[in-house]
Structure 1
């Protein structure tokens, strides 16, 4: 099961990603969580102590490793391997916590959209390996641009979850993501309503995104704010938000198994 979670910044997608990963791990799944957002906050959402992840370098910043694996000894402007060996990297560079393995991808700073460099090549190949060749559950916390997915990997994504809050800009972002997903061949795009304060909020999301299957919603709550402020995993605090995400997880697993 390969799941990508995306949405406009600040909607709660990282909280959802981390809690889904912990819930699935508690169900006995082997879970690999991939932080593909430049803000890189998934570790705290998983409950990993800060001292255990602060020293980790994202793959996007591993220039020496990328050049070694791609054979780009001469630096930029030289020929290099486009399918480097990556199968040993997840175990070598992951941080494990409560049954979840975390990998940090990061973002390659490129001069243009057509730029191909060793770091970019390494990440693309690693994503392909994680989504196509690994048999764990993979939960990817993405940025809204879903830039880490390409045509070679998007077809392996079982579901793309777009997290939205009640608001026009969040809804607009969801439609833009849907177009990107369809261009890449991702057919199963679901929505989760976040920061819901009332039945009116939920109704707004349902009406504005009526062409998206709704997996569930997460109520705006003090527990989520406290978890963020304290740098703790929502899963470890428990409460109604975790129960709501548990229902989202159950709906997701059921829908994917049917498909």
Structure 2
């Protein structure tokens, strides 16, 4: 059975880094992975392929009947990499690129291949219909939310939880991607408990991760024996072994404000 995961979070919180390193970990354990970047920036798979790959949207502009190899690229440990792409900033709906990409991949029978894991890197803008596609169209079976202990990151996470609940999605847990704020792990654990889930793993801030990204690699590939790679390995195992799945209960805005202020 294929494990199909959509990973959400506020822009800039580290979703793409998390998705890439998790995929690199699973692939290193001989699992067959498909990674789909659902962000117009198209940077999810850069550290898996070693450079940016052509997006589905841009490819379709020049070629109405692309072959599989025009859209799907093999990266580290043969991870299949796809970037949906989207319009230029300020022009059109970014989510449309996700819809176009999913339909085109279906047409090419990508989802019928022998896969173990499919991971979607999804923006946290759940208001946009396109970004709800992985859940609404049943491409993903479960959701993970990446957050730090910062106010805006948790605020965005709470909004994502609203979207997940509305779509009757299954939340598998919260990934704490640390930014070194005071009481960070305590805050994120309390947030997870408040909405009816748990912290499935914690990634501590590290310059080694950024160093690997500058070289267009994951830390799992460039520094496989590092503590950082070990944290991703533990997170990857937790996700695979997880049985704590729930439909979450978001806080309303006033409740969230009171919750966060209790840690100040």
CA distance in 2, matches of 1:152, 1:193: 22
Deviations 1:110-129 (A, max 9, x none): 9776x998x67532424667
Instruction: After TM superposition, give the deviation of residue 35 of structure 1 in Å.
Output: 1.3
1:173 is aligned to 2:152: no
> Quick one: distance in 2 between partners of 1:248 and 1:144?
21
Q: Tell me the residue number matched to 1:229.
A: 214
- 8 Å CA contact 2:38–2:131 kept in 1: the answer is yes
What is the match of residue 167 of structure 2? 184
* Structure 1: segments with no counterpart, 5+ residues: 70-87
Distance 1:18 1:122 in 2: 22
Question: Which secondary structure does the structure 2 equivalent of 1:162 belong to?
Answer: strand
Could you tell me which runs of 5 or more consecutive residues in structure 2 were left unpaired when the two chains were aligned.
Answer: 247-264
Check if 1:106 corresponds to 2:85: yes
Q: Distance in 2 between matches of 1:120 and 1:44?
A: 18
CA distance in 2, matches of 1:206, 1:125: 37
Counterpart in the other structure of 1:215 = 200
What corresponds to 1:60 in structure 2? Answer: 57
Query: In structure 2, do the counterparts of structure 1 residues 61 and 158 end up closer, same or farther at CA, with 3 Å as the change threshold?
Result: same
Q: TM-score if structure 1 supplies the norm length? A: 0.76
**TM-score when normalising by structure 2:** 0.74
* CA root-mean-square deviation: 3.3
Tell me, in whole angstroms, the C-alpha distance in 1 between the residues paired with 2:113 and 2:243: 17
1:144 is displaced (CA, Å) by 1.2
Kept after mapping to 1: 8 A contact 2:24/2:218 = no
Q: Which residue of 1 aligns with 2:121?
A: 141
How far apart, in 2, do the equivalents of 1:189 and 1:257 lie? 6
What's the offset of the Cα at 1:177?
Answer: 0.8
| Matched positions, count | 233
- Helix, strand or coil at the partner of 2:80: strand
Match of 2:11 in 1: 9
Q: Which residue of 245, 249, 259 corresponds with 2:236?
A: 249
- 2:42 counterpart residue number: 40
How much does 1:234 deviate? 1.2
Q: What is aligned with 2:185?
A: 202
Alignment-derived partner of residue 101 in structure 2: 123
Residue 189 of structure 1 deviates from its aligned partner by: 4.1
Distance in 1 (CA, whole Å) between partners of 2:119 and 2:231 is 18
Q: 2-side partners of 1:186 and 1:18: how far apart?
A: 23
Task: Give 1:16 shift.
Answer: 0.8
Counterparts in 2 of 1:100 and 1:132: CA distance versus 1, 3 Å: closer
Secondary structure of the 1:107 match is: coil
Aligned partners of 2:142, 2:203: CA distance in 1, in Å? 19
